[in-house]
Amino acid sequence: MAGPEIKAPAFREYPTIPVMQPGSMAGLKPFVANDKVQEALGFPTQLAENWQDTHDAVIAKMGELLGKYRSLKVYMDACVHCGACTDKCHYFIGTQDPKNMPVARQDLMRSVYRRYFTPAGKLFPALVGARDLTREVLDEWYTYYHQCSECRRCSVFCPYGIDTAEVTMAGRELLASVGYGQKYSNEIIGKVHKIGNNLGLPGPALENTLEGLMEDVKEDTGIDIQYPLDVQGAEVLLVTPSADFFAEPHIESLIGYGKVFHAAGISWTMSSKASEAGNFGMFIGNYDQLRKIAMRVREAALELGVKRIVVGECGHAWRVAYSFWNTLTGVGAGASDPFAIQLQSQLDHRYKQPSHICEFTWDLIQRGAISFDKEANDHRIITFHDSCNVARGSRMGDAPGGQFEIPRSIIHAVANKYVEMRPGTTHEQTFCCGGGGGVLTDDLMELRVKGALPRMETIKQVVDGQGVNFLATICAICKAQFSKVLPFYGFKSSMIGGVHQLVSTAIRLGDK
């Protein structure tokens, strides 16, 4: 896109703490949601004309959030500024802006919290680092709460377990609630409500795309593999990010899911109503939106009468499904309304509900229900990038760490050549791709390129050292982000792909 040329920061010889460059990212703000976008979500369309009204609304909302979320109050109170988080953030490492240190990002809100919600801050603001909420402070929130990908790497290192992502979510919630929402996320949420998915892909287009896909797969394999939509009474409902229908390399994993279902002989369907696994309601920290988006999946499951719900390769969708569906919609267990009860009796509880597509595939592999020609992947030397929301916000399988082991076990089952990236940058300490949490937009490209630095450094080590040429992930955002930023660091964008893309290459489909 036309605009200033963005340059990737240089690789560091050693991963040392970068020198601070105060204000280096102060000028980068994503586009603000326009009236139409805000209105569609029931948010005020603009900031109030009178600053005092906005000021009062923010403080009132902050009081509401502090009352509703005990966690937020604990995070506001508990930080002792020990500094353990400072150099753990990929955005601080890549941008060198001290306000992108997690502790500093939180303090943008903490200072206001102290002023209005603590006795010391009310009486002696200057002594306790408390400050008034001004228009400048609000703009600063908008800037820096959109330079966080809510990846929670800093939280892993925090001795108090403060979850910076929740502070960012609260910041965005406060902003949107007074008419200062982000265009990218809010426009997408509007499309989910109106059309059914983040892309805005209407039912007929989805049908047409899937038909074309069936033809392509038939051409490649000689076999009729189905990519079914809205099939009543199917065993499995697959809910996957809409990028899987549209973008490269995402669609290669969708092809892979279909081959797995085919080879295992399990009937499945996708849904035009729930044609999106992603849930940007989490990114903007809005519980009502989070719930409303999640409810579509429950409605689709009830309508189609499926026995199992499986979630495709989407990082934050899996966090929402694994960690929040329970209480949001009763798809898991625990909800007590009549529809949740109906859904519970409909689902087959011999299986995990919901299951991740990797759990689903791994289960079939272990039972010997599907098999592979591993040599088909011999042209690839593979490494696996753990996606934040899977790594730090969910689990898979029956054992701790299953979310790390199951995708790797699948790769080992379908390919011969596998390399790990440097310890301390994988598993729960994985670095964000640089595009998660609602920042995967062109207007934040500078942030995305710079924030990718630490991950790119570890990729460079395995590319130079072991000849890695395939970066496997299980997240649509990671796939899109890497496709765009890899070339800035001298890598081919074609090296990024999905775990089920590898499955797709090697799976035995029977006689041609």
Partner 1 sequence: MAMCEVNGKTFETDEEGYLANITDWNEDIGAYLAQTENLPLTEQHWEVVNFLREYYNEFQIAPAVRVLTKAIGKKLGPEKGNSQYLYELFPYGPAKQACKIAGLPKPTGCI
CB of 286 to partner 1, least distance (A): 18
> Among 482, 243, 492, which Cα is nearest to 385's?
482
**Residue for token digits 């009860």?**
341
Work out whether 221 is an interface residue with partner 1 (CB under 8 A): no
Q: Looking at 120-128, 238-246, 363-371, 386-394, which segment touches partner 1 (CB under 8 A)? A: 238-246
- 3-state SS, 295-342, equals HHHHHHHHHHCCCEEEECCCHHHHHHHHHHHHHHHCCCCCCCCHHHHH
Q: In this chain, which of 236, 243, 282, 471 binds partner 1, going by CB under 8 A?
A: 243
Residues 271-310 close enough to bind partner 1 by CB under 8 A: 278
Q: In this chain, which of 479, 489, 498, 507 binds partner 1, going by CB under 8 A?
A: 479
Tell me the β-bridge partners of 235. none
Work out whether 405 is an interface residue with partner 1 (CB under 8 A): no
Question: Residue 50, class by beta-carbon neighbours within 10 Å (0-12 exposed, 13-18 middle, 19+ buried)?
Answer: exposed
Tokens for 137?
């402070």
How many binding residues for partner 1 (CB under 8 A)?
40
CB of 444 to partner 1, least distance (A): 12
Work out whether 449 is an interface residue with partner 1 (CB under 8 A): no
Q: In this chain, which of 247, 302, 369, 509 binds partner 1, going by CB under 8 A?
A: 247
Work out whether 373 is an interface residue with partner 1 (CB under 8 A): no
**3-state secondary structure (DSSP) of residue 395:** coil
Q: Name all contacts of 293-296 with Cβ < 8 Å and 24+ positions apart.
A: 293/189, 293/192, 293/193, 294/320, 294/324, 294/325, 294/328, 294/329, 294/331, 295/328, 295/329, 296/192, 296/196
Residue 187 or 359 having the CB closest to partner 1: 187
Residue 243 or 335 having the CB closest to partner 1: 243
Q: In this chain, which of 45, 208, 327, 366 binds partner 1, going by CB under 8 A?
A: 208
Do 403 and 352 form a contact (C-beta atoms < 8 A)?
no
Residue 9 or 278 having the CB closest to partner 1: 278
**Residue for token digits 């924030």?**
451
* Residues 6+ away with beta carbon under 8 Å from 14: none
Number of Cα atoms under 13 Å in the Cβ half of residue 512:
6
CB of 72 to partner 1, least distance (A): 27
Residue 308 or 484 having the CB closest to partner 1: 484
Work out whether 266 is an interface residue with partner 1 (CB under 8 A): no
Residue 72 or 480 having the CB closest to partner 1: 480
Work out whether 443 is an interface residue with partner 1 (CB under 8 A): yes
**3-state secondary structure (DSSP) of residue 268:** strand
Work out whether 440 is an interface residue with partner 1 (CB under 8 A): yes
Work out whether 45 is an interface residue with partner 1 (CB under 8 A): no
Give residues in contact with partner 1 (CB under 8 A): 1-2, 31, 34, 183-184, 187-188, 191, 197-202, 204-205, 208-209, 212-213, 216, 241-243, 245-248, 250-251, 278, 314, 440, 442-443, 476-477, 479-480
